[in-house]
Structure 1
Amino acid sequence: MTTYNHMVFIVDDDVRIREALGELLESHGMRAIAFGSAGDYVLADKPDVPACLILDVELPDINGLDLQKQIAEGDHPPIVFITGHGDIPSSVRAIKHGAVDFLTKPFCDADLMAAIETAIAQDRERRSERAELTMLRQRYLGLTPRERDVLPLVVSGLLNKQAAAELGISEVTLQIHRRNVMQKMMAASLADLVRMAERLEIPITHSRRTGGN
């Protein structure tokens, strides 16, 4: 089975546009799958690779801008809009909701290719960040309940003595848990652990004591 490291989805009801875009992308070494309607695109099985969605504004079943809104919460690639009837309000709406570009037909091939490359790069970065977050969550789930208690205290900047007092354990026991947290989370430093906690949105709920027991 052939695999690709990217994909460009084309949604346009004009078969001539779909064919022309397909030929353009092929000439640049890019793979594309074309659809004649938004419904066909939504229902289709799609390869799990960095991608870009070239989306016409005027479609037979739904306005492209409305489709953008509907799929905003899902796992869809960055969008490059194309339209034969562009207007400022539509372009502003599209860009405001995350579109990479809004091109009016006839557009320059170079402008379209630049937008596609930007979109694929954005999607590749998003996928990388998502994979990293998934990995961090798996590491976090590998912590014991007590280690999960220790983590927010450690990243808050409390001294070992202060964190131990928060949990009602000895400083030595706290140090053992702290070391285990660092190892299991594969944190190279405290700053690295803080960054991980921020990515995981771990709440800090201790009383922030400044010293003593």
Structure 2
Amino acid sequence: MDNIKETILEVILSILPITIVITILQFTLIWLPMEMFLQFLIGVLMVGAGLILFLLGVNIGLLPVGEMIGSALSKTKKVWLIVFFGFLLGLVVTIAEPDVRVLSSQVDQVSGGQIPMDILILAVAIGVAIFVALAMVRIIFSINIVYLLAGGYALVFLLAAFTPSVFVPISFDAGGVTTGPLTVPFILALGVGVASVMKGKSSSSDGFGLVALASIGPILSVLLLGVIYG
């Protein structure tokens, strides 16, 4: 019950500021048609209800399951199994990420279908999956995350020099949308679960940094897509 109250309060505090600002603008500057403003208020209520249910689902289901999967995989002591399922889970969670679908539909619309929605979603998902698998390797072999981040962004700037300019902003937006409300909780929980078994509870903080690595993958994959389409 306390968890439900905290979630409701968190959502209200998140939505209330933008609702107040738009309401003030409505009656001072923009003066939208009243029908559209009422649609906005109804949308706010729907978003609030959806976020409450979503966050409860994340806390009750996704976080515990992600951590348990990471722990169970680590107990097998099979590196290839941990890396493979890290790749697979990164792939399917990203495909399900709402933010990725929003970006893909916008890009598809703006490009007039030249960059198909399904291709972009798949490219982003594969990019995330590869770097989640790489993050599993980092946890297992205690690789310094600074080297991986430096190497990843070096590749990003190298590829950006050979990619049509239109793909560069899309690629960085693709990296941003993978830090959405579905991907982040699950991937973080997975990493913490793997680290807690492989390195002990005292070193479970090694499970963090997965999101930073995972966001590089989509940037690289979309830049590669640009090289291909370019």
More helix by share: 2
Which protein has greater RCO, CA pairs closer than 8 Å, 6+ apart? 2
TM-score (norm 2): 0.28
